[in-house]
Structure 1
Amino acid sequence: MRDPSFVVEDTAVAVDGRRLSVRRVTPSTVAPGAPTLVFLHEGLGSIGLWKDVPEALCRATGLPAVVYDRLGHGGSDPLRAWPRPVGYLEHEAEHVLPRVLDALGLDRIVLVGHSDGGSIALLYAALRPAGLLGAVTEAAHVFVEPVTLAGIRAARTAFLRGDLRAKLARWHGRNTEGVFWGWNATWLTAPFPGWCMTDRLPSIRCPLLVIQGEADEYGTIAQVEAIVVGVCGPVTPFMVPDCGHVPHHQARAPVLAAMADTVGRWTGTADARRAP
């Protein structure tokens, strides 16, 4: 049962003629002109896989939220082919995300991106859009590490021989094969280990909160260090102990508290904050 203090609306937008599922979460009381939290999911993620994290952060900040399924994920239209191009993250940041924001009429936002979504958030921030007040990233990758590829190979084994396919089907339905291979096959193509976006980091001026689990199976502290050294705006790193690739679920309390505190300072809602 959903929290009655929120209005939750499931809708959709069209980008390049393809349907993308969208969920809007609006607290019962929102200050006029308040910015919107925009959630960007991981490579195997969806609206549903965030579970109640958007509502929790809305409650903690008093801000509305938008979560959407990228093409091929969740309830959005399926991918037509895979692997994706090596530059698919850049395409999402520079082409798709701006169109989603325009379609929803959002001009003042805070991004919350996990894994692929964190990389997309950084790539979008590098464009210096006027309405971006800050970005929270979890497990963002800015270059490809050997541990990343090892984790992706292990995921392939789990999908082919274990229960990963069944787990993903709960959230992606008809998109299950496409969402997995559109991620896994792309990262394991011969050109992809050379992908790197560190040259974009100096263009980032907005404030960042950069979160990563110390036991992340897809990346090391080198990712966080590269972001901290590379960007030109204020940045707060947060390495989460005893935590893997999904800090908002695996270390929910400290991670949501850090997000709420930081976003509250960026948006001026800190004094009104409630516990996530």
Structure 2
Amino acid sequence: MTAQASSPSTEFASIEWRGRTVRVEHQWIAPERRDAPLLVFLHEGLGSVAMWKDFPERLCAAAGVRGLVFSRPAYGRSTPRAADETWDVDFMHRQAHEVLPAFFEALGIAEAPWLLGHSDGGSIALLYAARFPDAVRGLVLMAPHIFVEDVTIANIEIARDAYRSTDLPAKLGRYHDDADSAFWGWNRIWLHPPFRQWNIEAEIAAIRAPVLAIQGVGDEYGTLEQIRGIARRVPGTALLELPACGHSPHRDRPDAVIAAATDFITAQRA
């Protein structure tokens, strides 16, 4: 009989952020691969540990790496937003410059990991790599944002209406202890008028790590100018534009994403 790997167990780390102690839900994948690179997964604007499902385990197995999956504060089983907490235009910068370093320190991570980010998580990965260029081994990005587009705002407005009028809160409640915390933190800042000027194109030029940027041709939350703009700013960026794919390549085209990410990570290890 072949032994089957056990599912990752959920743990919590505590960090100090925004004047209070915040616990961060996380899971380790294949920690026994001590000599393998570490790949950290950064979820989308409504994501969490649970919402990744089995994608992180599949990718880590294919690439032969260790994995770390976590829910940002306000998401999943991490500490929800405080009742009076609102996010400003710099909310992704604060995640990249404050939360992620504090989280790594709490876990005793001293090595330079790979970062895999989806949507807002991809933008946070870019901002972290730009601020700490020597602390990142490489980036795999899926549908990241580097500026705000009309199509993004239009579909976030649709999501707001759906949250108010459908069973979307109950659906998100499967993945978050406090669905309102997750949804309104994300939705309100993206629809905040000053956020239309958010743009990180100039900042990402400081990135020195290798980058693979993936986007669906049918992405409903952004055009292909998002990843093409990264390629113009970060020399050597590899692009993968996937047909028959929307905003979530790891759900719409998981096999293609796993193959491309595995090849990219393996090539950098050679």
CA RMSD, Structure 1 to Structure 2 (Å): 1.5
Flag the 1:102–1:236 CA change in 2: closer, same or farther, 3 A. Answer: same
Name the SS for the 2:47 alignment partner.
Answer: coil
Give matches, 1:73-112, under 5 Å: 73-80=75-82, 81-106=84-109, 107-112=111-116
Corresponding position of 1:121:
125
Flag the 1:218–1:24 CA change in 2: closer, same or farther, 3 A. Answer: same
Tell whether 2:145 aligns with 1:141: yes
Runs of at least 5 residues in structure 2 that lack an aligned partner in the other structure = none
Contact 1:213 1:240 in 2 (8 A): yes
Give matches, 1:147-166, under 5 Å: 147-166=151-170
Tell whether 2:69 aligns with 1:67: yes
Contact 2:133 2:208 in 1 (8 A): no
Give, in whole Å, the separation in 1 of the partners of 2:175 and 2:9. 18
Give, in whole Å, the separation in 2 of the partners of 1:100 and 1:184. 24
Contact 2:129 2:135 in 1 (8 A): no
Aligned-pair CA distance for 1:195: 0.6
Q: Which one of the candidate residues 20, 45, 57 is aligned to 1:43?
A: 45
Corresponding position of 1:273:
none
Contact 2:41 2:116 in 1 (8 A): yes
Contact 2:133 2:209 in 1 (8 A): no
Aligned-pair CA distance for 1:213: 0.6
Name the SS for the 1:33 alignment partner.
Answer: coil
**Aligned residues: percent identity?**
41
Flag the 1:7–1:171 CA change in 2: closer, same or farther, 3 A. Answer: closer
Corresponding position of 1:55:
57
Amino acid at match of 1:217: E
Aligned-pair CA distance for 1:4: 2.9
Corresponding position of 1:194:
197
**Once superposed, which parts of structure 1, at least 4 consecutive aligned residues long, lie more than 4 Å away?**
none
TM-score, normalised by the number of residues in structure 2 = 0.93
For residues 23-56 of structure 1, the C-alpha deviation after alignment (integer angstroms, 9 at most, x for no partner) is 111165x2x4322110000000000010001100
TM-score, normalised by the number of residues in structure 1 = 0.91
Runs of at least 5 residues in structure 1 that lack an aligned partner in the other structure = 269-276
Contact 1:40 1:68 in 2 (8 A): yes
Corresponding position of 2:256:
254
Give, in whole Å, the separation in 1 of the partners of 2:149 and 2:198. 10
Contact 1:147 1:218 in 2 (8 A): yes
Give, in whole Å, the separation in 2 of the partners of 1:153 and 1:161. 13
Contact 1:27 1:58 in 2 (8 A): no
Further displaced range: 47-56 or 82-91:
82-91
For residues 158-195 of structure 1, the C-alpha deviation after alignment (integer angstroms, 9 at most, x for no partner) is 1111222121011113x100100000011111211011
Give matches, 1:18-29, under 5 Å: 18-26=22-30
Give, in whole Å, the separation in 2 of the partners of 1:179 and 1:10. 19
Contact 1:6 1:27 in 2 (8 A): no
Give, in whole Å, the separation in 2 of the partners of 1:267 and 1:108. 13
Give, in whole Å, the separation in 2 of the partners of 1:146 and 1:76. 31
